[in-house]
A and B are shown apart, each in its own frame.
Chain A
């Protein structure tokens, strides 16, 4: 089973022609992406792992319906998102909660937090483990519609079009939600970034 230099389209054709085991190779580059995507919907590690497995199995079962007009990764992510949403619905109906998906309204304050001294963000601060924890928590606390867009765009680095396709929303909504998500995270993390910095004595030529 030689697969080096094989394109994704060739892999898919061979799988459909009966070389089922090649499916392992096909999905290998997307393992992380699928997990993170399901996680962005269900926000629970165990559910995300189960969901990622189910999404992969489902994509195998439906591989013949993949048309090749979208990228395989986008198609796979659509399945992953649907799997996540299915799980969320189940969990929510168990809790008798509303299923209404909120849309981005104008409510909320989407102005960034101000820093008076940008030099207070040392690069070393980004290496701190605590900062990663704060960021993870902040992302988890984002409203669902913002977290999902943020995950696909800034964590998985999909483009606007792919993100819109995977989530079934307009590209314009992707941009608005991403902007708001980033501002919200900036606000959440700025105080932390500031406190990690060593104090500076002078700035703008005045003694503090």
Chain B
């Protein structure tokens, strides 16, 4: 059975995640070989995921780690003090 574009789109996420079964994977790959539109969609989606996983896209606030550990140190001390009182 020949896959339609719409069918490929429905599975594009699972295809990227390698969670489609072998038979469907083969059908999708066959379709992609001939379909520029679906290849383009796959490419764009993959690129977005590459960009998302890039640490420069979603950055931590400057000084976040330092503030976190400073706060932790204070809290750990407080908790220790409290437990000694008990």
Interface of A with B (CB < 8 Å)? 20-21, 23-24, 27, 31-32, 35-36, 45, 49, 52-53, 56-57, 60-61, 111-118, 121, 126, 131-132, 135-136, 139, 150, 154-155, 157, 160, 175, 178-179, 182-183, 185-186, 189-190, 193, 204
Contact = CB atoms under 8 A, between A and B. Distances in A.
Interface of B: 6, 9, 12-14, 16, 19, 36-37, 39-41, 43-45, 47-58, 60-61, 64-65, 67-69, 71-73, 75-76, 79-80
Contacts, number: 125
A118 B76 contact: no
Nearest to B39: A118
B53 A155 contact: yes
A186 B41 contact: yes
A155 B52 contact: yes
Contacts of B56: 132
Given A31-B64, A49-B67, A57-B75, A118 B80 contact: no
Given A24-B72, A117-B40, A135-B52, A112 B45 contact: yes
A121 B43 contact: yes
B13 A185 contact: no
